[in-house]
């Protein structure tokens, strides 16, 4: 069994300040972990993925995430928020059966 | 590369009619495609796994006779919502896994979604 918990349903940050979106996972097997972004009425875009290689993963648009097995966490960060980062973010876990399990999402609001 | 398209992007239909949504992998082959449903301001819920040349596998609680899935080729899967009702109104998103891609991380490529409104 696998599950994902996104600890914050809504995060607001000022433009230019750091972003932290939290995600904890549970998986019976070595998981693959993903962060996807969804802009309003759009499909999902992959930000980054963890696939059992380096634990610090760098993605697109300046985002990165660190896989911490001891904490079962995969938090998403960005040093400086931009207005275009405002969107819904989903943490996703996958294991042997290829099915993706989505977190409930975190809505990121950027304050000008 | 790895582009997935959906058609139509939005559709409005009358209650009782059927609607077909297409999902295509444009530049890769996919033996497996997935269909998700997303209600407003909620997460994606997997409805079914579509397998080329065989029957789809439905998640618990999803009516297979209502949501007909056909995966006729390595680049096309269709979802038909039969006898649609207002409660079927939702955002439907498909995804596909690249057959030639590494299997170690199960990445799926998502379509842009189809918004269905049933009047």
Higher-pLDDT residue of B70 and B101 is B70
Q: Is B52 helix (H, G, I), strand (E, B) or coil?
A: coil
Maximum mean pLDDT: which of A33-42, B14-23, B43-52? B14-23
pLDDT at B100: 67
Residue A71 corresponds to which tokens in the numbers above? 């904490």
State whether B104 and A102 contact (CB < 8 Å): no
Could you tell me the two tokens for A30?
């070595």
| Residue linked to tokens 């039969």 | B82
Cα separation, A1 vs B97, whole angstroms: 21
Judged against a pLDDT cut of 50, whether residue B104 lies above it is answered with no
Q: What's the pLDDT score for residue B72?
A: 83
pLDDT at B99: 67
Interface of B with A in 52-111 (CB under 8 A): 91, 93, 95, 97, 104-111
Contact B97 A98 (CB under 8 A): yes
Q: How far is the alpha carbon of A62 from chain B, nearest alpha carbon, in Å?
A: 20
Whether residue B98 is predicted with pLDDT greater than 80 in this model: the reply is no
Any bridge partners for residue A12, and if so which? A109
Rounded mean pLDDT of A22-36?
90
Percent of chain B with pLDDT over 90: 67
Q: Which residue would you say has higher pLDDT here, A101 or B79? A: B79
Question: Which residues of chain A neighbour B110 with C-beta distances below 8 Å?
Answer: 36, 43-45
pLDDT at B101: 63
Give phi and psi for A67, each to the nearest 5.
-85, 120
């Amino acid at each position: 069994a696998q599950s994902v918990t996104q600890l914050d349903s809504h995060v607001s940050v000022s433009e230019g300040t750091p972003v932290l979106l939290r995600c904890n996972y549970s998986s019976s097997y070595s998981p693959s972990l993903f962060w996807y972004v969804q802009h309003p009425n759009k499909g999902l875009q992959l930000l980054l993925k963890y696939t059992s290689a380096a634990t610090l993963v760098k993605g697109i648009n300046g985002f990165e995430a660190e896989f911490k097995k001891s904490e079962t966490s995969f938090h998403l960060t960005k040093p400086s928020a931009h207005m275009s980062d405002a969107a819904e973010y989903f943490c996703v876990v996958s294991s042997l059966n290829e099915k993706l399990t989505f977190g409930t999402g975190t809505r990121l609001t950027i304050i000008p | 590369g790895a582009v997935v398209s959906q058609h139509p992007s939005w559709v409005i239909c009358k209650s009782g009619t059927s609607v077909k949504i297409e999902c295509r992998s444009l530049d890769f082959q996919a033996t497996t495609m997935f269909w998700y449903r997303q209600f407003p301001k909620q997460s994606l819920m997997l409805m079914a796994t579509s397998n080329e040349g065989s029957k789809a596998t439905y998640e618990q609680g999803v009516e297979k006779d209502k949501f007909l899935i056909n995966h006729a080729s390595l680049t096309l899967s269709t979802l038909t919502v039969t006898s649609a009702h207002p409660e079927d109104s939702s955002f439907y998103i498909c995804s596909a896994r690249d057959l030639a891609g590494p299997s170690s991380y199960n990445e799926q490529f998502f379509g842009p979604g189809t918004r269905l409104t049933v009047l």
